[in-house]
């Protein structure tokens, strides 16, 4: 939600990740997780209500690296259980 709407509605920044089920549901679990990582990368660190552009920040390499970190942590977590 942009700053203008935040002020008008007297609310804090909010983000919604929307997927198109006809496309998203057919993907593997790995691809679904990578898409969510991609979308989360659009949210700036300050959680200000703005969006980060693709150019120079969101790359396939960055998404793959974050996915690998997530996978390693999930494997470690499942061993602890």
**Phi/psi at 26 (5° precision):** -80, -10
8 A C-beta contact, residue 12 and residue 5: no
pTM, two decimals, is 0.75
The tally of domains found in the chain comes to 1
- In this prediction, residue 81 carries a pLDDT of 56
Structure tokens at 4: 């203008």
pLDDT tens-digit readout, 24-76: 999 999 999 999 999 999 988 877 777 787 787 899 999 999 999 999 887 77
DSSP string, the chain: --HHHHHHTT----------HHHHTTS-HHHHHHHHHHHHHTS-TT--S----STTT--HHHHHHHHHHHHHHHHHHHHH-
Q: What pLDDT sits at residue 79?
A: 66
pLDDT score recorded for residue 22: 95
Condensed to tens digits (0 to 9), the pLDDT of residues 27-40 reads 999 999 999 999 99
Containing structural domain, residue 72: 3-80
């Amino acid at each position: 939600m942009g700053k203008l709407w935040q002020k008008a509605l007297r609310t804090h920044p909010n983000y919604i990740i929307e997927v198109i089920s006809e496309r998203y549901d057919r993907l593997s679990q790995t691809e679904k997780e990578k898409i969510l990582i991609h979308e989360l990368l659009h949210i700036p660190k300050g959680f200000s209500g703005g969006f980060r552009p693709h150019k120079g920040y969101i790359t396939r390499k960055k998404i793959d690296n974050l996915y690998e970190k997530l996978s390693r942590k999930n494997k470690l977590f499942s061993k602890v259980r």
